[in-house]
């Protein structure tokens, strides 16, 4: 086989078997996997920040309400995922935020 036939092919491993394949543009341009950071509170849906109930430095218990987000004409109460301290708030009242927007950082 000629070397030209294998141009543009990459090694791809599946269950310890190595294959030669050509990657699609969609695969090459995909967003790389990012391990979840449990100290980041991100928006699950786009919406508008109605009210923020915490300040930087506050100690908050798991389940306590930290903010109110209006999305699809519904008020969504954002609660603390675990006990912690508010490290930073990246949004303010009235902000329109997209999906996956970092809203609050925890310590």
**pTM assigned to the model:** 0.70
In terms of Cβ atoms closer than 10 Å to its own Cβ (0-12, 13-18, 19+), residue 99 is exposed
Domain of residue 48, CATH code = 2.40.50.100
Does residue 13 sit within a domain? no
Position 22 in a domain: no
In tens, the pLDDT along 15-32 reads 989 988 888 889 889 988
Average pLDDT of the chain is 90
pLDDT for res 94: 95
Looking at residue 103, what DSSP letter applies? Answer: E
Residue 4 lies in a domain: no
Asked whether the beta carbons of 48 and 67 are under 8 A apart, the reply is no
């Amino acid at each position: 086989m000629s070397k030209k036939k294998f141009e543009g092919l990459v090694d791809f491993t599946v269950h310890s078997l190595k294959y030669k394949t050509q990657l699609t543009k969609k695969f090459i341009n995909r967003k790389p996997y990012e391990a979840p950071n449990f100290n980041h509170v991100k928006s699950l849906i786009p919406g508008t920040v109605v009210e923020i109930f915490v300040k930087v430095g506050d100690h908050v218990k798991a389940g306590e309400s930290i903010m109110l987000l209006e999305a699809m004409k519904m008020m969504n109460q954002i609660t603390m995922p675990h006990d912690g301290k508010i490290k930073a708030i990246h949004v303010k009242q009235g902000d329109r935020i997209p999906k996956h927007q970092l809203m609050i950082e925890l310590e």
